[in-house]
Amino acid sequence: MSLNSIEIQKTSSFESFSLYGWWRFNKRWLNLVWLFVIFSAVAYQTNLAISYNSNDTTNLFLIAARIGGFNLLIICALFWLPVMGHSVKFFQRSILAYLLPSASLKNIHKWLGHTFIALSVIHGGFFLLYMNTLKGPFISTVIATEADTVRAMKTSMNQFVSEQNSILLMETWVNQGYDETEYKTVIEPFLREDCTGCHSTESTDAFAKPSLPLTTLKEVIALSNTGLASRKFRINVTGLILLIPLFAIWVTSLIGFRNKQFPWFQKIHRLGYLIAVLMLLHIPRIEYLFVPTFLLGLEWILNRLPIHFWHSNASLTKISDDVVLMSIPLKRASLIPVGSIAKLRVKGLDKSEWHVMSVINSGNTVDAKFLIKSLGDWTSELQLSSNLSSSIDVGIRGFYRSPVAGISAGKPLLAFVGGIGITPLLSLLDSISVERPPKAITIIWVFSDWKLFEYLHPRLMDKQSEIKSLHLNFYATTPAPDFISENLATAVNINRPEIAHYIFEQTEQHPENKVAFVCGPKQLHSDVKNIASNTSNWSFVEEYF
């Protein structure tokens, strides 16, 4: 059947209609569902912030600060979840996988991060402006030089204090050291009349603060501290400090900085631990942090359960001008799952940097192998090291699941890979056996590094001769150099593949559910995704370096 006839047949049914296919393939409906849920929560929190008119000092500054703060609670609960690798992989393997916008998780984290910064500026900036409108010195209000209860009586709660004499009595009692007898005879009576009605766990007042009870001596003392022990000092000062690491992480996460200074991006992201501590000190309503805190703790534990060797004498073999083979001996025989990645650290290059690499072998083995291309400062330095020595001291953490690990052997696989993007598939091919052949695997490899092709070609062809359902197609973007034999050169197409042809051909041969895998340049990802979205029964798995 010709390509044109395939296209005609493809567009003849509603299910294959291009708009429907694009919608289904990219799960745009799922993104809209989650957006609706988030915007509904934002609308609820915003309405709550606007309607929370607790006292006569409430103004537009305080309302804006509350809108930012109330919505920050939603972002705090969500923005770090997409980057919790183990949790994400668990849900992707569960029955809930269809309800997760898996292809958008990185973008979701990125935009939630931008939103977090914007809301933080709104929340903090407008709260400072609000505090400047209160009675009393601005700095004194911010750092809580007065007891919380005294300051509140003088400023935000002044309308509820029946007599100015009550403020003087409270101030004197605090300065004299919280005498219990005076509390029962002098302080408790006017507190019961002016404050306890709202500040009580039994309060039903619409604008009450039952979370700040003033019904016992212990509770009153807890809310009458000054300086470092003051609740208001803790909230205000930690909020101001939070802006520093937040801005540092945000600036170093911007694509221009991250691409040029990736090591600093990694290092500064570790300030996230400091941010977590400061947030627990700053946020009065920590129930929003229960689930993410639990998952973060679980993530921390799971990250330390895999193999972890601080020092291994790895061998380096130069494959080409840009690619080096690293073989790391494991201290004990280990099972490397299919589609694994590992974190590598070369102390001689940078003892604090860990870099994620695809493992190219799988199964029970005594070593882990990696093909590493020069794509940045660290990998370029590693390439230079291979010129000077055949061994290097390496630390390894692993093994973790990559997107390839989620590909089912029961579904036909069409893989488009560019250059070093072939590496995630090598462990998958390594696991294929004659006893359990896959449904069908078609790999289209586009490359420019002929030495890398020469190195991998025998391994790939041996696998193809062993497994009849494996089909390999090679495309080179440059002519074959002189050192490549004529027989090897004739196995390669000197052009770029017709992506549409392969996708439509696979659609015709395999009408059931299929998987399209891509690892390579961004344009390759975009082309495959756009074409596959116009056909039916395709799911999409991608991996970036």
Q: For residue 428, what is the domain's CATH number?
A: 3.40.50.80
Report which of residues 139 and 84 the model is more confident about.
139
- Is the residue at 10 inside a domain? no
pLDDT tens digits for range 168-185: 888 888 888 888 888 888
**pLDDT averaged over the chain?**
80
pLDDT band at residue 52 using 50, 70 and 90 as cut-offs: confident
Structural contact between residues 493 and 475, judged by C-beta atoms closer than 8 angstroms:
yes
Average pLDDT over residues 349-355: 76
- One domain, residues 434 and 491: yes
- One domain, residues 217 and 153: yes
- Is the residue at 4 inside a domain? no
Report which of residues 46 and 20 the model is more confident about.
46
- Checking if the pLDDT of 251 tops 70, the result is yes
Q: Which of 466-472's residues contact partners 24+ apart within 8 Å by CB, and which partners?
A: 466/432, 466/434, 467/432, 467/434, 467/437, 467/438, 467/441, 468/437, 469/437, 469/438, 469/439, 469/440, 469/441, 470/429, 470/432, 470/438, 470/441, 470/443, 471/440, 471/441, 471/442, 471/443, 472/443, 472/445
- Is the residue at 258 inside a domain? no
Average pLDDT over residues 323-348: 86
- One domain, residues 344 and 466: no
Quote the domain boundaries for residue 213.
147-225
Which two structure tokens, joined as six digits, stand for 39?
């915007």
65: three-class secondary structure by DSSP: helix
Report which of residues 288 and 459 the model is more confident about.
459
- One domain, residues 111 and 196: no
68 burial (CB, 10 Å; 0-12 / 13-18 / 19+) is buried
Report which of residues 11 and 54 the model is more confident about.
54
13: three-class secondary structure by DSSP: coil
- Cα of 208 vs its chain's centroid, Å: 37
- Checking if the pLDDT of 27 tops 70, the result is no
User: How much of the chain exceeds pLDDT 90, in percent?
Assistant: 17
- Checking if the pLDDT of 332 tops 70, the result is yes
pLDDT of residue 12: 34
Which two structure tokens, joined as six digits, stand for 259?
């691409």
Report which of residues 1 and 83 the model is more confident about.
83
Among candidate residues 378, 401, 424, the one where a domain is terminated: 401
pLDDT band at residue 2 using 50, 70 and 90 as cut-offs: very low
User: How much of the chain exceeds pLDDT 70, in percent?
Assistant: 82
pLDDT of residue 204: 59
303: left (phi over 0), alpha (psi -120 to 50) or beta: alpha
3-state secondary structure 256-298: HHHHHCHHHHHHHHCCHHHHHHHHHHHCCCHHHHHHHHHHHHH
CATH of the domain at 340: 2.40.30.10
Average pLDDT over residues 135-148: 80
- Is the residue at 321 inside a domain? yes
pLDDT of residue 51: 82
Q: How far is CA 467 from CA 59, 139, 287, 455, in A?
A: 73, 75, 54, 20
Report which of residues 80 and 237 the model is more confident about.
237
Lowest pLDDT segment from 130-134, 180-184, 296-300, 409-413: 296-300
Q: How many residues in the chain?
A: 545
- One domain, residues 461 and 521: yes
pLDDT of residue 449: 92
- One domain, residues 94 and 220: no
pLDDT of residue 459: 92
- One domain, residues 499 and 442: yes
- One domain, residues 294 and 340: no
Total structural domains in the chain? 4
From the CA atom positions of the chain, what is the Rg in Å? Answer: 31
- One domain, residues 216 and 114: no
Distance, CA of 297 to CA of 286 (rounded, Å): 16
Distance, CA of 403 to CA of 239 (rounded, Å): 38
- Checking if the pLDDT of 6 tops 50, the result is no
pLDDT of residue 38: 84
Q: How many CB atoms lie within 10 A of CB 143?
A: 18
Lowest pLDDT segment from 228-237, 306-315, 493-502, 505-514: 306-315
Average pLDDT over residues 425-453: 86
Among candidate residues 353, 386, 401, the one where a domain is terminated: 401
Among candidate residues 190, 225, 260, the one where a domain is terminated: 225
- Is the residue at 355 inside a domain? yes
- Checking if the pLDDT of 302 tops 90, the result is no
- Checking if the pLDDT of 411 tops 70, the result is yes
84: three-class secondary structure by DSSP: coil
pLDDT of residue 95: 60
- Is the residue at 253 inside a domain? no
- One domain, residues 43 and 111: yes
- Is the residue at 522 inside a domain? yes
Distance, CA of 169 to CA of 301 (rounded, Å): 52
Lowest pLDDT segment from 81-90, 396-405, 441-450: 81-90
pLDDT band at residue 7 using 50, 70 and 90 as cut-offs: very low
pLDDT of residue 326: 92
pLDDT of residue 103: 59
Structural contact between residues 533 and 22, judged by C-beta atoms closer than 8 angstroms:
yes
- One domain, residues 176 and 219: yes
- Cα of 492 vs its chain's centroid, Å: 39
- One domain, residues 419 and 529: yes
- Checking if the pLDDT of 17 tops 50, the result is no
pLDDT tens digits for range 191-220: 887 777 677 776 555 455 666 778 888 888
pLDDT tens digits for range 506-526: 888 888 888 888 998 888 888
∠ Cα 172 178 181 (to 5°): 100
Distance, CA of 72 to CA of 80 (rounded, Å): 13
pLDDT of residue 16: 39
Lowest pLDDT segment from 42-46, 70-74, 221-225, 241-245: 221-225
pLDDT of residue 28: 60
Distance, CA of 502 to CA of 163 (rounded, Å): 84
Q: How many CB atoms lie within 10 A of CB 29?
A: 9
pTM above 0.75, yes or no: no
Structural contact between residues 480 and 494, judged by C-beta atoms closer than 8 angstroms:
yes
- Is the residue at 74 inside a domain? yes
